[in-house]
Structure 1
Amino acid sequence: MNKVSIYLENGLFLQARSFGAEGTAVGEIVFNTSMTGYQEIVTDPSYAGQFVTFTMPEIGNVGCNAQDMESRGAFCKGILVRSYQGRPSNFRSEEPLDALLKRFGVMGICEIDTRYLTRMIRTEGAMEMIASTEIHDAAELKKLLDAAPRIEEINYIEEVSTSEPYLHTQGRYDARTFRYEENPETSKRIVAYDFGIKRNILNELTHAGIAVEVIPNDTPAEEVVARFEKGEIDGVFLSNGPGDPLILQQEKGRIQKLLKAKIPMFGICLGHQMLSIAHGYDTYKLKFGHHGGNHPVKNRATGAVEITAQNHNYNVPDAITEVAEVTHVNLFDNTIEGVRYRGEPVMSVQHHPEASPGPHESAYVFRDFYEML
């Protein structure tokens, strides 16, 4: 392992050891409290432009495999872990995490006090940082960090979205057989705008009985409306994705055209935020976001408290209640987690109901979308 130097925008300078890709990278540092599923986190496109600090101290123990990829690659800038295990032990492992990170150019940083970093982010908020295996002078790192664009200024959707439409035919993973359903029976058909979609969201949609065609983020709304009017599709899904939703003005315009056409829609995470923006209610940035697999969310309809997976730095405003009914609320900070728009066949949630590798208490919302279609 080589030395890696880290400089944060609050002036903190640290040195640690590196694994994964080498080089120099700039991004936003956040923390994730999940106990399992580091491969799913690393390959979630929503982390594009970010360094992920794992609060779980041991990372790498079970290796990585092709089945657990959430996308075609890894898009985060890097990961920070207390202890990296480069000799995995698991019957499903095909390669160590280090190999996956190197293949996709993602930095790995270890032998660092992740508890300290997490407490700092909770106190001061998410911030920009630079990490380098090439440069070890704090002043030079600060200069590079100051000159780099902030995550709020970068459109990462172009990087993570598919370039060509494709059909998704895989269903939910069966932990008893260690296989995914193939070609589940479907009776509804939708298109899914890919802003950085996770594979297991698609799996849950098909498992719920919905055939899915994934389309690029820049697909004209007019094409989608025409297909809906011809009866070729029954609705639209708006996916999760990275970055600040307020810079996605073209996507906002397309969604407004879909709303005008009264097309049934369902959004998750970024899709949830974009629906709010399209209705005229701009999102705001949380201090350090919600990232982890242990967030309690209350379903207002049933009164049940669901333990959910989350990954977002932005949230819809309370003023959304002027046009929508709040269906879910985060019990950590009472932020809005789900809505249904009045007079429209449109619903959305902020958390991740597919929650791979878990928990799965919110997976019913995919069936709710099917029933709405």
Structure 2
Amino acid sequence: MNLYNAILIGLKDIWAHKFRTLLTMLGIVLGVSSLVAMAAVITGMEKGMKESMIAMGGLDKVRIDDEDVPVWQDHLRDQSPGRLIRDVYALQASAPLVKTISPEMRLDWRSTRVTSKGKTASTSEIVGVWPAVLEMNLYELEHGRFFCDLDEEFANSVCVIGTGVRDQLFGSPEQTGETIVPIGKTIQIGGQPFTIVGMFRHYESEQERKLKELAKKQQQETKGGVKRQRGWSGAKKWGDAFWRKNNVVYMPLNTAWIKFRAASNEDGTPDPRLTDIDIKIADLDLLEPALQQARNVMLTMHNGIVDFEFETEENQINDIRTRIRNMRISQGVIAGLSLLVGGIGIMNIMLA
């Protein structure tokens, strides 16, 4: 039997069993389509998670958080100092495996409003920082400058904002038709005037960027008619890493301390404690030794009191890996089912 006759017989069998052939083709098409769609979802999810992880500072970022004093040290609770600026200097001097240290003094956003000419901005955080925060959280300045040593030394009332804060206080490029650069403008933070000296670049995921491009294209296609406000298209993404980066307000650490925390306790006494101490490890392969170095320094500075803990990105990494693995298992199951359905259909046609 030559090839021509084999093809001819096959076509005759297919024509003789049209319904079975249709079902077989449908099963194969649906299986392959599901497989392709699942692969696209996995790729997009993996890329989005990695983008979010990078936006928050990367895998080598470690946060030193407050921790309740353990039971066996409960009698020393009153002597727990909390995280202080002296801890930062000690880490700089005695932890060589830690390459970057960024202290933060976060202000209460409920009582520290950011306003300008009657407009109020919904900020992700208002924080006193050192310039090291740029490397720690992977920020890039698009306009103006960051804080200098003189700003820190004299507690100058200057701030650097994200584009989201700019949009809320001065108008977004979509609203005004131009990109407003508010360098030199004055805003109120907690009722005190601050001068904007810098603004970060806008951060967004690839998905958000493509959606904006699509919306802009659709707007151009439907241009015309009465100008109107079309309302909100979605809720604020309070937990989104890019939203948090775009709606941040930074000021010098010493400014936050003197102007907002110097008499912030209930009895009017100063509160010198830091909200966060973020560190970056010089080499991820040396994560354990680096954390041990930092722990030894903190224990020395805290007189042996274990009132702190280290928070790494390991759990987030494991969560990402688990989700991707589960999706790939589902992808394999769908592929197997589609092949099984197609094989059964072909056998039915051949044996009919």
Q: TM-score range by the shorter chain?
A: under 0.3
Larger radius of gyration: 2
**Which structure ranks higher in relative contact order (CA pairs < 8 Å, sequence separation ≥ 6)?**
2
Greater percentage in strand? 1
Greater percentage in helix? 2
